Amino acid sequence: MSGHSKWSTIKFKKALKDAKRGKIFTRLIREITVAARAGGGDPASNSRLRLALDKAYGANMTKDTIERAVKRGTGELEGVDYEEVTYEGYGPGGVAILIETMTDNKVRTVAEVRHIFSKRGGNMGTAGSVAYQFKKLGLIVFPADAD
């Protein structure tokens, strides 16, 4: 636990908040970088970037951090190279599944996705095996703690 002194209590609470905030900031920076790479660094002409910037400002991310993420996405700064990859497969009962990921390491990601498919009774398909069955109409996002 945090201990008996006041500083120990503050330090414990601050560490928890900082870890939670850091996780959110990492995800938001990744979204900003990919959006800037895909559609350019101008939020007026890139709606995906504008949405990512609104989320970042809503999470109290500093302007400097946001600008660095945009510059990294447009290629003005060096940094981790994220890319979007889509995987296809069949879940239990033959349900077609299309998975869109954002990763800096495709080899690791494909291994993790394949592991989840096999663990849950599905199997990965080849490119184009289920994509023809889908039409992109919207986006459904679940929080990480959803059951």
- The structural domains of the chain, with segments of one domain joined by +, span 6-74, 83-133
pTM: 0.59
CA atoms within 13 A on the CB side of 84: 13
pLDDT of 119: 92
Output the six-digit token pair for 86: 């889509």
CATH class in words for 6-74: mainly alpha
Going by pLDDT thresholds of 50, 70 and 90, the confidence category of residue 72 is confident
Q: What is the identity of the amino acid at 60?
A: N
Residue entry with tokens 């560490």: 15
Stronger pLDDT, 124 or 103, i.e. the higher one:
124
C-alpha 97/C-alpha 122 separation (Å) is 9
Instruction: Record the tokens describing residue 16, joined without a space.
Output: 């928890």
CA atoms within 13 A on the CB side of 20: 9
Confidence band for 1, pLDDT divided at 50, 70 and 90: low
Q: How far is it, in rounded angstroms, from Cα 79 to Cα 13?
A: 31
The residue type at 96:
A
The pLDDT tens digits of the residues spanning 118-141 come to 999 999 998 889 989 888 887 777
Rg (CA), the chain: 19
Task: Report the alpha-carbon distance of residue 71 to residue 28 in Å, rounded.
Answer: 14
CATH of domain 83-133: 3.30.70.980
- Other beta carbons within 10 Å of 135: 5
